[in-house]
Amino acid sequence: MNEPKEIELKYLVEYNFDKIGLVLYLVDNGYTIEDINHVTNEDIYFDTPDKLLQRTDSSLRIRVIDNKMIKGTLKYPVDNDNLYVKRVEIEQDLESKDFDALLNAFNNKRFDLSKICPFPFLRAFNNRHNFTLKNGENIITLSFDTIIYNETYQEFMIEIEAIKGTNPKVLEEINELIKRKYDLKTTKQSKYQRGIELTKLAILRRKH
């Protein structure tokens, strides 16, 4: 089945990273700015009691966008051998952010969600600034994320996503450009994986 794919490259950055500097650096290297927007996302993640989705780098979430639009999303990886990560991303509109609404949206899909626990494993709030950039026929979305996991841990991240029809090799080219000027750490973990691990570490540190 030809499911929609999410192909993206991720970097971890500090809170004071020069966002505009990176955008202008890419513009100086052949990209044009096609669009700029800002969104706030509330993400509510669900899993099985034994955290099967976390262990397989998959995720099932409800996303509330700007306190208005509500979407259910199921993701699972199909290629993790490159610098970037490729995941299947299935998205459905929801009428509410209730767990039952999420399950009902995927009733007609081929996935067995019967073992998913109805209580959230993670809540993440993401303040996201998006820049849509174009170079020739290739289009990317450059996102700067400020994420708070479970009101416990804050993280700053850059995501560069190849928009449908764009050659994924563009992400490798962008990474080479970035390496020439910046010393950034890449990550292949999903926000769900990172949020679970980081909030667990934060709790352990408080206990000690």
Read off the pLDDT band of 208 (50, 70, 90): very low
- The pLDDT of 183-191, averaged and rounded, is 94
- By three-state DSSP, how is residue 93 classified? strand
- The pLDDT of 7-25, averaged and rounded, is 97
In tens, the pLDDT along 47-100 reads 999 999 999 999 999 999 999 999 999 999 987 778 899 999 999 999 999 999
Pure H helices in the chain: 19-28, 52-55, 99-105, 169-181, 191-207
- The continuous run of DSSP H or E covering 89 comes out as strand 85-93
- The pLDDT of 14-29, averaged and rounded, is 97
- The continuous run of DSSP H or E covering 147 comes out as strand 138-149
Find, among 62, 68, 66, 65, the residue nearest to 105 by Cα: 62
Distance of alpha carbon 68 from alpha carbon 24, whole angstroms = 32
Read off the pLDDT band of 202 (50, 70, 90): low
